[in-house]
Structure 1
Amino acid sequence: MTPARLSMAYSPCPNDTFTFHAWAHGLVPGAPEVDVTYADIDVTNGLAERGGLDVLKISYAALPWVLDEYALLPCGGALGRGCGPLVLAREAHTPADLAGRVVAVPSERSTAYLLFRLWAAREIPGGVGEIRVMPFHTIMPAVRDGVVDAGLVIHEARFTYHEFGLVSLADMGEAWEADTGLPIPLGAIIARRSLDLPALAAAARASVEHAWSDPAASRDYVHAHAQEMSPAVQEQHIALYVNAFTRELGDEGYAAVHALLDRAADEGLVPRVSREALAFPGR
């Protein structure tokens, strides 16, 4: 049974505000009203682990720790191609030169960091020296200013890192796609298992479709929450991260999620997750 009003958390990034604008503003007929908390991915991952909210956007990498209480919804999330996290530095050098260095990451439970760990196990003999968790929008300035030696960045950093005088050492998405042939699973939408999951999935799907049918309707909402981003970059961000997988994971999307979590479990980085735990009712 789903109450008439739910608590929900997602990031202030353009892909999330674009995707959920219609639902958050009561434009999806029959959908429960939502009280929205805007927070970076490290915060929403923690909120999910504490079980504090009804519906959340989290990292796919955080799923193994929350699936007892939450179910993965098959829509509303972020997967794609050509949209992987980047490893940035002030100057070009080889990945092996990161050995013993300080690297900033957006969350220890982020998909970006999980992909980085899988990549670094092959490319950085001996491993990095220190991992430092920072809000994602502070990582590029920290790299630029020498606070850290390199940074693992997500979201719109793909479009703006040149403005900070930085260079890309590696693209985690390119490495993943070359290795698996699958899209990159980044952000997942989860909901309490005690709720009406099909109804919530339908609300998320309808919100995506509303956003696509009337992109201008969400423009002010997206702009109000975007963190120091030009309208042109906001549009690039949405075009890259809101795609067919946002509307429906489908077989390829589920295959990507299974591959990520299976590989991470094989390396001892996350608990093993069964197919049943990831399955959506009726699928």
Structure 2
Amino acid sequence: MKLTLGFSPCPNDTFIFHGIANRKVDTEGLDFEIFMADVEDLNRTAFEGKASVLKLSFHAYAHVSADYLILDSGGAIGRGNGPLLVSKREIKLEDIDNLLIAIPGIYTTANLLLSIFRPMAINRKVYLFSDIPDAVSDGEAEAGIIIHETRFTYRAKGLIQIADLGLLWEGMTGLPVPLGAIAIHRGIPENVAVSVNRIIRRSIEYAKNNISETYEYIKQYSQETSDDVIRKHIALYVNNYTEGMGQEGREAVKDMFRRAADAGVIPVPGQEIFLSPDIKKGL
């Protein structure tokens, strides 16, 4: 069976999917057709409902939950790894409502978190995530939300942190922050979906056991090719929740959806959103 598989060129995704993309692990007879795209492009691909399996923001998932289920493995959930709000000057979070803020996409979880914490900060402009530090540094935007590799390099642009939206989330909920999910189309049989989840976990294990080889693959696509940046990126975004989100991860997702729906940011998912809450079913 052939499945399309989409993910971003960011180090955590290429780390996770190297084993699959380069046929290093057993794919249980499944044939994956790989495509890469920026996170917001992946989100919009999910809206079209054409991809079999793809990485997407949890914000976007809430809008496509009728078509996709969230897999247990491969996602980005964690503590201390949320989006950062930055600027060239010291600004209090409560004073940003009238500023032009650069965001990495309408349907990114970064934008959702901004809507939760500063709903009146509506003057937002979309940039490719890697262009946001320059946009803020050059004065095109007065503040910006940074994600992925730029989280580790923004200070070199003369920028300072205004707020850590992930830590604000953790402080408010006590839960890890859900950033990105791996979702599979509901039209795919459950036994195949379970196999995909198992294959992703196998690919993660392969990457951990073959670091040098995996880094060479990562560097082909990463915005930053420094070993130090790549190592920090993977350490932050590939964690225990990546191998399996578990009960706490699922609670964090449901809590985010509840709060965002109450704020009018997303529709309320109308059905079961996880492949299976029972991790004993071969996940």
Task: Please state if 1:279 is matched with 2:274.
Answer: yes
Aligned partners of 2:99, 2:151: CA distance in 1, in Å? Answer: 22
Structure 2 counterpart of 1:102: 100
- Residue 210 of structure 1, CA deviation: 1.2
Structure 1 counterpart of 2:203: 207
Aligned partners of 2:90, 2:82: CA distance in 1, in Å? Answer: 19
Matched residue type, 2:218: V
SS of equivalent to 1:277: coil
Structure 2 counterpart of 1:177: 170
- Equivalent pair of 1:23/1:33 in contact (CA under 8 Å): no
- Equivalent pair of 1:60/1:185 in contact (CA under 8 Å): yes
- Residue 165 of structure 1, CA deviation: 0.2
Task: Please state if 1:17 is matched with 2:14.
Answer: yes
- Equivalent pair of 1:10/1:38 in contact (CA under 8 Å): yes
SS of equivalent to 1:225: coil
For residues 96-131 of structure 1, what are the alpha-carbon distances to aligned partners after superposition, in whole Å with 9 as ceiling and x for unaligned?
A: 33222110111111111111111113xxxxx23521
Matched residue type, 1:250: G
Task: List runs of 5+ in structure 1 lacking aligned partners.
Answer: 122-126
Task: Please state if 1:245 is matched with 2:241.
Answer: yes
Question: Which deviates further from its counterpart, 13-22 or 28-37?
Answer: 28-37
Structure 1 counterpart of 2:149: 156
Structure 1 counterpart of 2:117: 119
- Give the TM-score normalised by structure 1: 0.93
Aligned partners of 2:212, 2:252: CA distance in 1, in Å? Answer: 32
Matched residue type, 1:24: A
SS of equivalent to 1:45: helix
Matched residue type, 1:244: N
Aligned partners of 1:179, 1:62: CA distance in 2, in Å? Answer: 22
Task: List runs of 5+ in structure 2 lacking aligned partners.
Answer: 279-283
- Residue 26 of structure 1, CA deviation: 1.1
Aligned partners of 1:189, 1:25: CA distance in 2, in Å? Answer: 19
- Give the TM-score normalised by structure 2: 0.93
Structure 2 counterpart of 1:236: 232
Percent of pairs with identical residues? 38
Structure 2 counterpart of 1:216: 212
Structure 2 counterpart of 1:124: none
Question: Which deviates further from its counterpart, 25-34 or 212-221?
Answer: 25-34
Structure 1 counterpart of 2:281: none
Matched residue type, 1:43: D
Aligned partners of 2:175, 2:27: CA distance in 1, in Å? Answer: 35
Structure 2 counterpart of 1:82: 80
- Equivalent pair of 1:26/1:33 in contact (CA under 8 Å): no
Instruction: Summarize the Cα distance change of 1:30–1:10 in structure 2 as closer, same or farther, 3 Å threshold.
Output: closer
**Equivalent of 1:134 in 111, 127, 135:** 127
Aligned partners of 2:100, 2:113: CA distance in 1, in Å? Answer: 17
Count residues with an aligned counterpart.
274
